[in-house]
Amino acid sequence: MSHVARDEAFAKYVRQTGMATDAQVEEARTSQAASGEPLAEALVRLGVITLTQKEAVEKKLDGQGVSVIGGCRLIRKLGEGGMGAVYLAERTADGRKVALKILPKKHATDVEFIKRFHREAEAAAALDHENIARGYAAGEEKGYHYYLMEYCEGEALGKRLKRAGALSTREATGLVLQVARGLAYAHERGFIHRDIKPDNILLTASGVAKILDLGLSKNIEEEGATFHTATGAAIGTPHYIAPEQARGEKLVDGRADLYALGATYYHLVTGTTPFQGASVFEVINKHLTEQLPDPRDAKPGIPEGVVLVIRRLMAKRVDDRYPAAPALAADLERVLAAEAPLAPAIDPALSSVAGLAPGRPRRTAAWIAGGVAALALAVAGVWWLSPPPALSPAPPVVVVPAPVPPPKPPEKRIEPSSAPVAKAGAPEDKPDVSAEARSAKAEPPKPAPPEPEPVKPAPPEPVKTPDPAPPVPVKAGPRPEPAPAAIKAAEAAFREPLKADYAATAPSDRAALARKLLEMPPPEDPTSDFIRLRDARDLAAQAGDAAGVLEAVNALAKAFVIDLLAVRAEGLSQLGATRTSEAARAAATACLVAGGEAMDVDRYDLASKLLSRAEAAAKDAKADDLAAAARGFAKDAAAWSKELATMSGYVDTLKARPDDPASNAALGKFACFLKDDWAVGLPRLAKGSDPALKALALKDLSNPEDATAQADLCEGWLKQAEKERTVRRDHILGRARAWFDKAAEKLTDADRERLSKRLGVAPAPKPAAPVVKTPTLVRAPNGRQAVDLIALAENPLTVNGPWQKTGPALFSSAGGDNVNRGSVRLWIPYAPPEEYEIFLDVERLEGMEDFVVGLAAPDGKPIAIGFDGWGQAAGSGMFIDGTWRKLVDRRVFENGRRYSVGIHVARNMIRVMVNAQEIMRHANYASMSMPAHVQVPLKPRGLILGAVRSRYAVRVAMVISNAKTNGEILPR
């Protein structure tokens, strides 16, 4: 494709998707005529699109027109993941159906990667087992590297779980047995999968379980290779990952697959994953540290034999698991025959860190609770978290774990070996039954010592020195950070007992010592405890272990009063070379998250260090998306830092005089126009010295409902935008568009047309005369009659980006902004009956922000439910009594997974289900509401789907009526 043709294709695409207006494209053309650069580069330079958007469009354009590869005609896309897209294809030679995986073009320039890929694909073609989807061949054509596989008709277990929930224990056991047999065959021939999960196991119509993607696995014999099968195994699929993989260990064996199969088994029999969390980091941390929940807590009635097998499979230590897949298969056959497994029952504590050594204290690691997936960072950034003002810093986004409770008083200590367990247990922790059991086994004749204590306690008490009393008040809260001189004086004494450990310099030794320090009982001397945690941070950094750095830093923040952002940045910015691509990706992600948090509170010196390290780690991981995100963030940080530096006098003045007009005006412009943070900036502008901006801000903050006032605000911000360029202009235009959207329905045709032109948006249509139509009914998956909302969806709709209807699915753009929490909204012209159930098949494709469902109450009052995001709320919930009410204190959706969402409206009750599990409810229908920024202009009734800075796919959207009518179709 010539440069001119490519520019034309690029211009057409960004216009159609709403990324750029005609005026912005023409401005970029004028600019590129002088610079000679491609149109895409000019659009990025002018701030019209981001670098990530540019790369996404180019990737889309690159993929157009390819219909035949490797002698196979592509029929349709079956799915897409980190290692490329999979298509159903037909061999032109014989018409046989095959599956064709096409690798991303970014790997085409990596010669070593491609060589390993082809070598391993050819070796995998020799695998021939009933429970493994066969690989046929690998090749390259038209610049695309592909892998040809057996196409199996059936359903992936991941999809089956989403559709039907948990399987019966007998069916699940039979399927896991088949997978174990397939793994035994592969392991014997030197292959491990590294990403066993329900989505990678296909169940054919005849009931045969097939392991998918084994042809892209890493050959065990090739120990020096860095190629890994499932990109993102340590990041993208955390719910099934073995601890050794999560730690980034290079040499893992088939027992990592067995651990993942155990997590899959758990999911199959309970309907839920073993560990849940608000972020990838939190889930992985639980695999590393927390005891496996009993499956029977999630679903009573699971046979004891199934529980014993799952516990053995998911032991934290590799040596505590089944030695190989054949041993597992033998036990599964016994479970199916209602016989006890041959492997002895494992202590439940061996599925947690507490079980690794008797007497070792059980510690809960701390992670970034708001950590985001790498791709989400690349697309969306983290600015939507509503950053606190620079001069009034709010608590950091990172959630520090609850303080460890004070140790038991000395007089209650019975055994020195049990003291660490008592110290480390959190208030909500269940008693460590396994530790008690071990203690009982170790000394059965010693129940007597507690009895003599009341009889003659006096002699032992002086010997035990009652001086340990100080730790009680010290542990009650964070302590002051020790003085540098005290730390330096105590270092040698603290390190002396571990001199041999400190002397070892290999990365694996550094990581091991860091883990040892973190698991060590905290010294009672505060200075020694500070050295322990600081050294753990630095050692983890030297080993390239980002997770270890974060754990140590959060432990420091729990125990001491520190500058959390600075201490975290110091650790992450000195991360050494990582040993695997997974570890490098984790390091890049952690640095991006921390860099974004530093930018939120205007700590640009820290952000610069972190983003530099993030880009380096992303390059090590060959993660172009993360590297682009790091560069984009660094560019923003440099611009924001430079701008803020020019206002240092205003910052100082505002500290002394918070109401100073000139300082408020300058910093209000900085927050609103540059950082797009209107929640922080508007109050400053309202106290500022610029009369026009002050009047606009005061009127804006009053949130007027009158159409004239709303149109005046639109006009006012438009005039302000015309004085600015690039990013500033776009942010102000976004504010103007938000007010136009509110006023549009009530404006005259002439005013609506005039403002539409100035804003560069399509003129809003005139309201049509009301016509009541009865919706056509279809058959829902559960067999009941339903209204297909996708068929009724209007395409496209407005506000910062469209939703597109593609075949039987709806896809949102990744647009949206922080203007009044503006979102990409889709209006569905359907008024449901009084009682109904709405079912959605939802998948977040990229980003980490909100998915919103706007519903219609029987009286026409709109109400809203939000999933994931909503600023610092960082959870899911509803709008109740005019304010956002967080009802779920975690994220619900994980990128790349499809979820079944059910919302039940009946008798003044709203219930929200995700994957057949209730996550929230509200019993006062009348108190619910929908904020103005979620409502769609001109559409006071109907249903709404919304997305903020994230891209969603909705593949099923149906309403089942529980009333006498099926609702009505509304006029468009």
Decide if 674 contacts 727 (C-beta within 8 A): yes
**pLDDT number for residue 197:** 93
C-alpha closest to that of 69 among 164, 165, 5, 146: 146
Residues contacting residue 405 through CB under 8 Å, at least 6 positions apart: 425, 426, 427, 475
Range 229-232, long-range pairs (CB < 8 A, 24+ positions): 229/83, 229/193, 229/194, 229/195, 230/81, 230/82, 230/83, 230/194, 230/195, 230/200, 231/81, 231/82, 231/83, 231/581, 232/82, 232/374, 232/582, 232/585
The pLDDT of residue 3 is 62
Which residue, chain included where needed, has tokens 């993360």? 626
Tokens linked to 945: 């789907």
Structure tokens at 639: 């611009």
For residue 311, what is the enclosing H or E element? Answer: helix 304-313
CA distances from 806 to 42, 76, 599, 661 (A): 30, 13, 38, 52
Q: What is the token pair recorded at 439?
A: 């203690």
Pair 365, 399: CB distance under 8 Å: no
User: What was the pLDDT predicted at 124?
Assistant: 67
Alpha-carbon radius of gyration of the chain: 30
User: Within 10 A of 772 (CB to CB), how many other CB atoms are there?
Assistant: 9
Dist CA 721 CA 703 (whole Å): 20
**CB of 349 within 8 A of CB of 286?**
no
DSSP alpha helices (H): ranges in 507-545? 507-519, 526-542
How far apart, in Å, do the first and last CA atoms of the chain sit? Answer: 41
CA–CA gap between residue 456 and residue 355 (Å, rounded): 35
Tell me the two tokens of residue 390. 């620079």
Q: Please give the order of strands across the beta sheet that includes 135-141.
A: 68-69, 72-81, 84-91, 97-102, 144-150, 135-141
CA-based nearest residue to 530, from 507, 549, 503, 553: 553
Reading the block at residue 290, the tokens are: 């927390």
CA distance 508 to 389: 42
| pLDDT given at position 349 | 66
Instruction: Tell me which long-range contacts 407-413 makes (C-beta under 8 A, separation of at least 24).
Output: 407/471, 407/472, 407/475, 409/469, 409/472, 410/464, 410/466, 410/468, 410/469, 411/457, 411/461, 411/466, 413/464
The residues annotated with a catalytic role in the active site are 195
Nearest to 524 by CA among 478, 474, 567: 474
Nearest partner of 957 among 850, 812, 772, judged by Cα? 812
- Cα angle 93-97-98, degrees, rounded to a multiple of 5: 95
pLDDT in the model for residue 226: 30
- The answer to whether the CB of 878 falls within 8 A of the CB of 922 is yes
Concatenate the DSSP letters of all residues of 13-45 into one string. Answer: HHHHTTSS-HHHHHHHHHHHHHH---HHHHHHH
- What string of DSSP letters covers 480-503? EPPPHHHHHHHHHHHHGGGHHHHH
| Ramachandran category for residue 956: left, alpha or beta (phi over 0 → left; psi -120 to 50 → alpha) | beta
Question: What whole-number distance in Å separates Cα of residue 527 and Cα of residue 800?
Answer: 53
Retrieve residue 198's tokens: 């329900």
Confidence at residue 824, expressed as pLDDT on a 0 to 100 scale: 79
CA distances from 631 to 50, 602, 635, 846 (A): 11, 18, 6, 19
456-465 burial, b for 16+ CB within 10 Å, e for fewer?
eeeeeeeeee
Please spell the DSSP secondary structure of 417-462, one letter per residue. GGHHHHHH--TTSPP-HHHHHHHHHH-TT-SSTTTHHHHS-TTHHH
- How many CB atoms lie under 10 A from the CB of residue 858? 14
Q: At what angle do helices 648-656 and 661-669 cross, to 10 degrees?
A: 130
pLDDT along the chain (972 residues), means of 10: 68 82 86 79 82 74 64 79 75 84 68 71 76 84 80 87 88 95 89 88 88 60 33 54 80 90 96 83 80 89 94 92 94 91 81 38 28 30 27 30 35 31 32 36 40 41 41 54 92 92 90 91 91 94 87 87 88 83 80 81 87 88 80 85 85 88 90 81 91 91 86 91 79 84 81 82 53 69 80 61 76 58 74 86 84 73 78 69 76 85 82 86 75 62 82 88 79 66
pLDDT at 428: 35
Question: In terms of DSSP bridges, do strands 479-480 and 560-561 run parallel, antiparallel, or are they unpaired?
Answer: parallel
Residue 744 CA to residue 763 CA, distance in Å, equals 9
For the CA atoms of 600, 604, 607, 612, the dihedral, rounded to the nearest 10 degrees, stands at 140
Structure tokens at 429: 């922790």
| Residues paired with residue 98 on neighbouring β-strands, in sequence order | 89, 150
**How far apart are the C-alpha atoms of 3 and 5, rounded to whole Å?**
6
